[in-house]
Structure 1
Amino acid sequence: MARREPSLFIRLFALMSLVLVFGAAVLMTAAWYSARQAADEAYDRLLLGAAYQIADAIQIQDGRAEIELPVSAFELLALSDRDRIFYRVLDPAGHTMTGYEGLDDPAAESETPDRAVVENAEFDGEIVRVTRVARRFDDAQMRGDAVVIVAQTVEARRALARELTLRSFILVGAMGAIAIGGTIFAVRRALAPIGRLETAIRQRDPLDLTLVDVSTPRELAPFVAEINGFIERLRGRVELMQQFIADAAHQLRTPLAALEGQVDLLANDEVAPPARKHLDRIRDRTRQLSRLANQLLSHAMVAHRERAVANSPVDLTELTRRALDEAIPDTLERDILVTLHAPPEPLIVSGDPVNLAEAIKNILDNAVRHGAPARITVRLLRRSDRAVIEVEDDGPGIPSGQWPRVVQRFGAPSSDGKGSGLGLSITAEVLAAHGGTLSFVEKGSFGFVVVMSLAQHEREVA
């Protein structure tokens, strides 16, 4: 049994979703880094601005560096109420003028100490963003660089980075949802030709062996061509089978009938008693062979017509009359009273008249050969929306324990050599193909009854 594969839609959707998810992950990672960088740039500018303002406030008085811290510098940094601010001001001699003694100079050993620096550091057990600016003095009383170091904790910039990242995530999520919806729409549109091809094949009648003619994309053209090639090969095989059945029916039935006739003629001649016994066996076996061949061909015909012939309205009453004429010939060796009870109006069913006639003839032939010594009664009835044919004979009937077997091929051939074990199975298969049933009524005070039930034609039921 072939392993069931997932549908093309699921495959394409899964692959495209993986691509979208990967792309979204890359975008969200980039958005996170971009948000952090943007937050750092915004707060670093405030930090540098405050440091420059403090540096501009340094004055040289009487050979000493003095400073009056500008309030405006701290007002800029105080815009973030979550963060703490640390500062340190060094005079050109390297002495701390004001601020935190433990705040290290991030560019103390730099080759370019006059260059502004902004970097991450740690102070007082907290992560801080620290900046360092220098102001050169060329006063006669004091020469050198005064250094301003300002540090700020990173809570505000982290909050800003989270907010910017969240907004980016929302935007990427919205675009992802739109992309997934577009993916579903695009995949369904792209696979629509496959759906049309599937519908065209699924809705075809099982008897339709014409080529598939559906407009498909170029990628599906080889697939359609292979289907049409298979249909052409199947049609050729069906035609060969039809020809074989016709040839077999002609080539087998004719010599068997001739052989049976020659044996009957030979039986009329004077034959010694020992030879007569062998001749009777030959005649019985010839008849059995002829019957078996006819029923095998009949079964092949029934199986073929079941798949190759469409149903049509059939008058069951007229069909039963014709079947009686063919199944019970006037030259029968014994007298059997045959009675047909039918409703006055036609009893219409939907089916193949040839197969239905074959089914009825098999039941009648079975009653003649194995059942009725003197009486066969056929009744056609309407029961609700069903058309029923009852064939009753005054023979011994079939034991109820054998009913499941006798409807199977060669399930219960007769022990007297007259039966083939195919008649009832052919009838059961024909009725099953027509949505009908074959059942039995155990022999009572009247006789054994075989019941064939079929659905009436829709117009008749209406």
Structure 2
Amino acid sequence: MILRTPSLFLRLVTVLGLVLAAGAGLLLATAWTSARLAADQAYDRLLVGAALQIAETIASDGREITVDPPFSAFETLGLAPRDRIFYKVVDPADALLTGSADLAVPVDRSRLAEGPLLLDAAHRGEPVRVVVTGRYVPDGPKPGWAAVVLAQTREARSALAGDLTAQASLLVLTMTVLALAAVTVAVRAALRPLAAIEGVLAGRGPNDLDPLDVAVPREIHLLVTSINHFMGRLSGHMAIMRRFIADAAHQIRTPLAALSAQIDLLSSEADAVRQRALVARVQERSAELGRLTNQLLNHAMVIHRARAVALAPVDIGAIARRTLIDAIPLAGERVLDIGYEGPEEPLPIHGDPIALREALANLIHNAIKHGAPGRLTVRARREPGRIVVEVVDDGAGIPAAEWKRVREPFQAATGGAIGSGLGLAIAAEVAAAHRGEMRFETRSHEGFAVVLSFPAAEAA
């Protein structure tokens, strides 16, 4: 089931658009702050200049302090026609010399020597910008600092800050729109290799599993490599399936035809003795056909598990003992010395117990049916870094000239019966899947041995 999600293009454009929107919002906030600061700086210079002009007119004749605010001071502040001006001048004793007595802005005379002091306040319910400056009067009735408090409403400042912000906002929004358009084009261009891959895959036939041969950026090279790896695995599985179907069709067709012919003969045979002989042959052929079918299925299972099942620590000695015990009934009424030799402690390897049991079962079955006339021994032992399991019988064994050939599927040793030829191939493939090996040995004192050798679990 394929879960549909928003397209990668829309997701990228959306994420980048959100990033641009966040950046634009930050720039607009910065522009508003900078515009207010610039407006305050411009009008603060006018406000300080006017306050200094008023302070320069403060004088004393020894008996009283006077002040004569110049018209030019207020004319300077008239550059902001929508704003209102409030002021007051107080002597060192805080007595009002002129101006608005209700302009309630505290005067800190300890800081007047440092120069004009700017601050924000409220007057008559309106926000105002205030400057406080002073003039030292040494010869007045009470020597000290006379103070000038000059306040101006903020309408012009706010209007200037708004104009500056609007201009900056227009620029920021224009750049954001252009950047988003550029991002859209860039993302579409960056995703073009994916569209090329899609086109290549869509144009392929159902059996075309060759690796993709397209030029892609480094960032999606791993994706293409993964696709090629998957297609390689799929091609391998399909090859196994085709091989299994072909082998099954080829190997089963002949015994089925022979079985059908014998059934036809049986149906037309009137002699009771010959009927019994034909029934025996039909039963024998059926058993061989069943064995062949089981081996075909087991072969396919072993190949599949070699690719699909993760190996885990198993005791190959215990598997060998159990498999040998299960195979004892195959000897039937024959007098056969069957034994197991191995240590009591576990012999661990990394393996698939089902595949290992199938490999040993085939070796033991071959030894019982086609090899051992009197003795069969399964032996397990530890060697440096390896675990070895061998199936030894006292029969003639397989000629050395055929050792390589009999490892291939359906290549039975000389004199093999119908349906043989898969047991050794299964064992060889299981050994290879476990990073081990299968070899044959002819021993003068024992007979013929099939040896499976695997890396020990601690060594692996």
* Paired AA for residue 226 in structure 1: S
Instruction: Give the CA deviation at 1:182.
Output: 2.4
Q: Is 1:163 matched up with 2:171?
A: no
Distance 1:249 1:113 in 2: 111
Equivalent residue number for residue 218 of structure 2: 218
Residues 246, 159 of structure 1: alpha-carbon distance in 2 compared, 3 angstrom cutoff = same
> Which ranges in structure 2 are unaligned for 5 or more consecutive residues?
287-460
Residue 207 of structure 2 aligns to a residue in which SS? coil
Q: RMSD between aligned alpha carbons?
A: 3.4
Equivalent residue number for residue 13 of structure 1: 13
* Paired AA for residue 88 in structure 1: K
* Paired AA for residue 254 in structure 1: T
Instruction: Give the CA deviation at 1:93.
Output: 5.2
Equivalent residue number for residue 195 of structure 1: 195
Residue 215 of structure 2 aligns to a residue in which SS? coil
Distance 1:269 1:111 in 2: 135
Please identify, of 100-109 and 128-137, the stretch whose mean Cα deviation from structure 2 is larger: 100-109
Equivalent residue number for residue 313 of structure 2: none
Residue 205 of structure 2 aligns to a residue in which SS? coil
Residues 84, 268 of structure 1: alpha-carbon distance in 2 compared, 3 angstrom cutoff = same
* Paired AA for residue 69 in structure 1: P
Q: Is 1:24 matched up with 2:24?
A: yes
Equivalences for residues 38-437 of structure 1 within 5 A: 38-60=38-60, 63-92=63-92, 94-112=94-112, 115-139=115-139, 143-270=143-270
Residues 262, 72 of structure 1: alpha-carbon distance in 2 compared, 3 angstrom cutoff = same
Distance 1:105 1:237 in 2: 90
Give me the TM-score of the superposition, normalised by structure 2. Answer: 0.53
Instruction: Give the CA deviation at 1:142.
Output: 8.1
Residues 147, 112 of structure 1: alpha-carbon distance in 2 compared, 3 angstrom cutoff = closer
Residues 78, 214 of structure 1: alpha-carbon distance in 2 compared, 3 angstrom cutoff = same
Instruction: Give the CA deviation at 1:158.
Output: 1.5
Residue 69 of structure 1 aligns to a residue in which SS? coil
Distance 1:267 1:62 in 2: 154
Equivalent residue number for residue 35 of structure 2: 35
Q: How many residues align?
A: 280
Residues 267, 156 of structure 1: alpha-carbon distance in 2 compared, 3 angstrom cutoff = same
Residue 26 of structure 2 aligns to a residue in which SS? helix
Instruction: Give the CA deviation at 1:132.
Output: 1.5
Equivalent residue number for residue 425 of structure 1: none
* Paired AA for residue 132 in structure 1: V
Instruction: Give the CA deviation at 1:271.
Output: 6.6
Residues 141, 98 of structure 1: alpha-carbon distance in 2 compared, 3 angstrom cutoff = closer
Residue 110 of structure 2 aligns to a residue in which SS? coil
> Which ranges in structure 1 are unaligned for 5 or more consecutive residues?
287-462
Residue 164 of structure 1 aligns to a residue in which SS? helix
* Paired AA for residue 164 in structure 1: L
Instruction: Give the CA deviation at 1:231.
Output: 2.2
Residue 110 of structure 1 aligns to a residue in which SS? helix
Residues 265, 52 of structure 1: alpha-carbon distance in 2 compared, 3 angstrom cutoff = same
Instruction: Give the CA deviation at 1:92.
Output: 5.0
Distance 2:80 2:207 in 1: 82
- Check the 8 A contact 1:90/1:147 in 2, yes or no: yes
Instruction: Give the CA deviation at 1:61.
Output: 5.5
Residue 211 of structure 1 aligns to a residue in which SS? coil
Instruction: Give the CA deviation at 1:120.
Output: 1.0
Give me the TM-score of the superposition, normalised by structure 1. Answer: 0.53
Instruction: Give the CA deviation at 1:105.
Output: 4.8
Distance 1:114 1:264 in 2: 127
Residues 265, 71 of structure 1: alpha-carbon distance in 2 compared, 3 angstrom cutoff = same
Distance 2:266 2:94 in 1: 145
Identity %: 46
Distance 2:164 2:29 in 1: 12
Distance 2:112 2:65 in 1: 22
Residues 266, 143 of structure 1: alpha-carbon distance in 2 compared, 3 angstrom cutoff = closer
- Check the 8 A contact 1:116/1:133 in 2, yes or no: yes
* Paired AA for residue 247 in structure 1: D
Distance 1:236 1:145 in 2: 99
Instruction: Give the CA deviation at 1:47.
Output: 0.9
* Paired AA for residue 15 in structure 2: L
* Paired AA for residue 30 in structure 1: T
Residues 82, 267 of structure 1: alpha-carbon distance in 2 compared, 3 angstrom cutoff = same
Question: Residue deviations 1:348-377, cap 9 Å, x none?
Answer: xxxxxxxxxxxxxxxxxxxxxxxxxxxxxx
- Check the 8 A contact 1:114/1:134 in 2, yes or no: no
